[in-house]
Amino acid sequence: MEKKVDIIEVGPRDGFQNLKEYLPVKKKIEIIRELIDSGVKHMQITSFVSPKAIPQMRDAAEVAKAILPDYPDLDLFCLVPNYRGAANAAEAGFRKVANVISLSRSHNMANIRRTHDESFAELGKIINEYPELTVCLDVATAFGCPFEGKQRDVKKLIDFERRGYDLGVRLFNLCDTVGMADPKQVREFVTASKEAFPDARFECHIHDTRGMGIVNTLAAVEAGADGVQSTLGGLGGCPFAPGASGNTATEDLVFMFNEMGMETGISFKSILAAAKKEFAEIEGSYSGANLHVEHTIDEHVENPCLN
């Protein structure tokens, strides 16, 4: 296993998009800066989607204006569902976007109301008209779908990825949108993807709906995933996938990898403090285990409980 792992924070998009109440842009910017201060270097900070579909993201341009100029060397990107979103992202100063297409045809229609052919045509248009943008293909429902069940055919995934690859995509993100994945499946899908497209980068976004977030993310890294995505506190889920509650918590991943001797570049103590602050101040669906632990391991050793 590699000694270094890239943890990609997506809470400012995937965590916030499900909140019932609008989170003021000032608060969003504060949390993003706290994440950066803790050592996060890869982050999805917003999404350019229709305000009618996801009102929480209506301030995407404001977030970009406040954050991008201050951190030109960090890997900061946004999600875009279509060409219009990509155009707005480019205008806002982004150099990298994630375009989401679901492996499940049913979920793709529910999520972005497009067929696969329409979605890939839109992806090709983004790549052709904005060559300066690095475009990641987010493969939603890569491991299973609430409408079509668990995805067990790895060939279906490879054929799907090939459509993006042939358009010029070299960055893929396999998303466990409803938390159906298991470690064996994750290893198989990541391994097969990297073997099929050795010059591409593969990341994984694992949900913790059934308490499998940590083990599936570890399986992805063991299989060679180039990066893993998570949200502060495990906040969030997918608003267009019934039952998809809870992401994998960033602080839990940092804890695990740091304890394993792997380099994350992120301070566990700092990111845990940020997670606990968010948990206390913002009402939402959280899955993080360390949110409920009073001390870090080092602090626990210094103040042992002998009961």
Residue 11 is given by DSSP the state I
Side-chain half-sphere CA neighbours of 222 within 13 A: 13
How many residues are listed for the chain in this entry? Answer: 307
Q: Which two tokens stand for residue 150?
A: 């668990």
Beta carbons of 234 and 274 less than 8 angstroms apart: no
Helix orientation angle between 116-129 and 83-92, rounded to the nearest 10 degrees = 30
Torsion angles phi and psi, residue 202, rounded to 5: -125, 130
Cα angle, residue 34 at apex, residues 171 and 175 outer, rounded to 5°: 30
Beta carbons of 199 and 170 less than 8 angstroms apart: yes
Beta carbons of 179 and 213 less than 8 angstroms apart: yes
Q: Could you report how far apart the first and last alpha carbons of the chain are, in Å?
A: 38
Q: Among residues 247, 192, 241, which one has the least CA distance to residue 220?
A: 192
CB contact burial 102-137 (16+ within 10 A = b; e otherwise): bbbbebbbbbbebebeebbebbbebbeebeebbbbb
Is 238 a known active-site residue? yes
Tell me how far apart the alpha carbons of residues 36 and 231 are, in angstroms, rounded to a whole number.
Answer: 13
Torsion angles phi and psi, residue 180, rounded to 5: -95, -10
Tell me how far apart the alpha carbons of residues 153 and 6 are, in angstroms, rounded to a whole number.
Answer: 27
Set 78, 136, 238, 305: catalytic member: 238
Active site residues: 238
